[in-house]
Chains A and B, each alone.
Chain A
Amino acid sequence: MSESLHLVLEYLLSPSFFNAALTTLALTVVSMLIGMLIGLPLALLQERRSVFVRLPVLLYLWLFRGTPVLLQIVFVFNVLPLFGVVLSGFASGVLALALNEGAYMAEIFRSGIQAVSPRQRLAGRALGMSSAQVMRLVVLPQALRTVVPPTGNQFMGMLKSSALVSVIAVQDLLLIADQTASANFRYIEALSAAAIYYLIFTTLFMVIQGYIERWVAPRRSSGRRSWSQRLISLTSAQPRSSQ
């Protein structure tokens, strides 16, 4: 047993696992950030009345939410080279994951925007703001509050979806664990080491989400909370209501 633990520890500290963990983390964060950059304009475009603007957006959402992300990864990796676009495994993985994530983030941003009362927009317009100013100064800051928890979920989901890039030979955590185990059949140890890395990252994401939620929460000028309250808010999925 102690030999097993020793092996897990050895894997955890080995350069190959550490590098694989960094690859997984980079895939997740970069894909999420690009996904958010794709999602916000898509959500804003859906606000437009014109069918010619909304239709292409709907087509995008339909395509990327309607097909398996694994298919999208393999497609980018194997089909783009036929058109002369040759990307590394990592870049292909990021591209596919980000395009897929963009569709989901678009829906999250859209629901956040719609959660802001139309009367707030009216108030912004009545103050002489242009539509763009109403969106930027009134709607989006309030939408942020509703958008943070589901975005946190997406980060965790992405961390795990990123394991799919092992099919296009990107040296991520799962692939390294699998390769290591198949050399000596110590599956429990290798997979446990990978799992520990995943758990460290999800914990990190939770803590960061907690901080962001507190930052965007409805403000109070006398806002100091005890440590126990902070821990509770870290473990609850929804932002604490503001009574």
Chain B
Amino acid sequence: MTTSTSTSTPAADAMFEVRKLNKSFDQQQWVLDDIDLKLLRGKTTVILGPSGSGKSTLLRCLNLLEEVDSGAIWFDGREITKEGPRGHLLRREISMVFQHYELFPHLSVLENLMIAPIKVLGVARERALEQAMELLAKVRIREKADAYPEQLSGGQQQRVAIARALMMNPKAILFDEPTSALDPEMVKEVLDVMVELAGSGITCVVVTHELGFARRAADRVVLMEGGRIVEESAKEHFFSDQASERTQRFLQQMSH
């Protein structure tokens, strides 16, 4: 059930615009409670919050991997919550990077990168191969092109997953806790790639616990708690003493 709460078109600078979004599990527990949010085109937004605050669920609503109860989501000027069963067409334009990488174990690194462009977008094999090698170089793992996922470390797998997401030439990339499953010594190599990406002008939405990444690469920061948005502001404001009391308390807890 999706009901459009407003017929007005979204602001031109918004890649995503979320209006009065509600989601519950079994009509009981509200996971997302009346979310209003604008994610700016070409900017990097980091979503922070304690576990269970609904941030990963919100992220999966943005590419319709989760169904919503009510409210509207606009993407690139159109209301995607109305598109329903054609969600897989939308997801050609929005890529996603997962906590546990989710590379396909039966395919080599190169095949992992090439399968969706070839099978979903209909890109020619030679063109896909060329782009794959470029992207593997960009995430600094070109020498592993013929390896299989299980032969790679977690950090390497996640960098391949980022390259796989970029293969679709998406308008936006969603990161779902991309460093939470990594050994500490591998976090940096993945974050470095993400920082470069954030600076490249693609719209990034990053759910993470890495305050350091937010400080380095975010344009805007969102704090969620209990399915609601507690604060949404520019990075400089978020990390200053002008941020809300709740935000400052959260940041204090995180730094312990």
Binding site for B on A (CB under 8 A): 119-120, 122-131, 133, 137-138, 141-142, 145, 218-221, 242
Q: Using CB atoms, name the residue of chain B closest to A145.
A: B106
Cα–Cα, bound, A32→B105 (Å)? 29
Q: Using CB atoms, name the residue of chain B closest to A242.
A: B150
B16-24, B92-100, B188-196, B229-237 - the one binding chain A: B92-100
Of residues A125, A128, A130, which shows the largest number of chain B Cβ atoms within 10 Å of its Cβ?
A128
Complex contacts, A145 vs chain B, CB 8 Å:
106
For residue B179, CB closer than 8 A to chain A, the reply is no
Sample (18) of A-B pairs whose CB atoms are under 8 Å apart: A119-B102, A120-B102, A123-B103, A125-B88, A126-B63, A126-B65, A127-B95, A127-B115, A127-B164, A128-B89, A128-B92, A128-B121, A128-B168, A129-B88, A133-B120, A142-B105, A219-B106, A219-B148
For residue B104, CB closer than 8 A to chain A, the reply is yes
For residue B91, CB closer than 8 A to chain A, the reply is yes
Q: Are A126 and B96 in contact (CB under 8 A)?
A: yes
Complex contacts, A128 vs chain B, CB 8 Å:
88-89, 91-92, 116, 120-121, 168
Q: Are B151 and A220 in contact (CB under 8 A)?
A: yes
Min CB–CB distance A225 → chain B (angstroms):
15
Given known A-B contacts A137-B119, A219-B108, A221-B108, A127 and B150 have beta carbons under 8 A apart: no
Q: Are B106 and A130 in contact (CB under 8 A)?
A: no
Complex contacts, B63 vs chain A, CB 8 Å:
126
Q: Are B119 and A133 in contact (CB under 8 A)?
A: yes
Of residues A119, A126, A137, which shows the largest number of chain B Cβ atoms within 10 Å of its Cβ?
A126
Q: Are B98 and A122 in contact (CB under 8 A)?
A: yes
Q: Using CB atoms, name the residue of chain B closest to A221.
A: B146
Q: A127-B120, A142-B106, A221-B151 are in contact. List 17 more A-B contacts (CB 8 A).
A: A119-B98, A122-B102, A125-B91, A127-B116, A128-B88, A128-B91, A128-B120, A128-B168, A129-B116, A129-B119, A133-B120, A141-B106, A142-B104, A218-B150, A220-B150, A221-B146, A221-B148
Q: Which of A122, A129, A218 contacts B105 (CB 8 A)?
A: A218
Q: Are B88 and A218 in contact (CB under 8 A)?
A: no
Q: Which of B65, B106, B151 contacts A125 (CB 8 A)?
A: B65
Question: With contacts defined as CB atoms under 8 Å apart, how many contacts are there between chain A and chain B in the complex?
Answer: 70
Complex contacts, B106 vs chain A, CB 8 Å:
141-142, 145, 218-219
Cα–Cα, bound, A119→B161 (Å)? 14
Cα–Cα, bound, A126→B96 (Å)? 6
For residue B147, CB closer than 8 A to chain A, the reply is yes
Complex contacts, B147 vs chain A, CB 8 Å:
221
Min CB–CB distance B136 → chain A (angstroms):
15
Q: Using CB atoms, name the residue of chain B closest to A144.
A: B106
Q: Using CB atoms, name the residue of chain A closest to B106.
A: A141
Q: Are A126 and B150 in contact (CB under 8 A)?
A: no
Binary A-proximity of B73-112 (CB < 8 A = 1, otherwise 0): 0000000000000001101100110101011111010000
Given known A-B contacts A122-B65, A221-B147, A221-B148, A137 and B115 have beta carbons under 8 A apart: yes
Q: Are B108 and A127 in contact (CB under 8 A)?
A: no
Min CB–CB distance A48 → chain B (angstroms):
15
Given known A-B contacts A125-B88, A128-B116, A137-B119, A119 and B148 have beta carbons under 8 A apart: no
Min CB–CB distance B92 → chain A (angstroms):
4
Complex contacts, B121 vs chain A, CB 8 Å:
128
Q: Using CB atoms, name the residue of chain A closest to B96.
A: A126
Cα–Cα, bound, A137→B88 (Å)? 15
Complex contacts, B168 vs chain A, CB 8 Å:
127-128
Complex contacts, A129 vs chain B, CB 8 Å:
88, 116, 119-120
Cα–Cα, bound, A220→B104 (Å)? 13
Complex contacts, A219 vs chain B, CB 8 Å:
106, 108, 148
Complex contacts, A131 vs chain B, CB 8 Å:
88
Min CB–CB distance A217 → chain B (angstroms):
10
Min CB–CB distance B123 → chain A (angstroms):
12
Min CB–CB distance A132 → chain B (angstroms):
10
Complex contacts, A137 vs chain B, CB 8 Å:
115, 119
Q: Using CB atoms, name the residue of chain A closest to B174.
A: A126
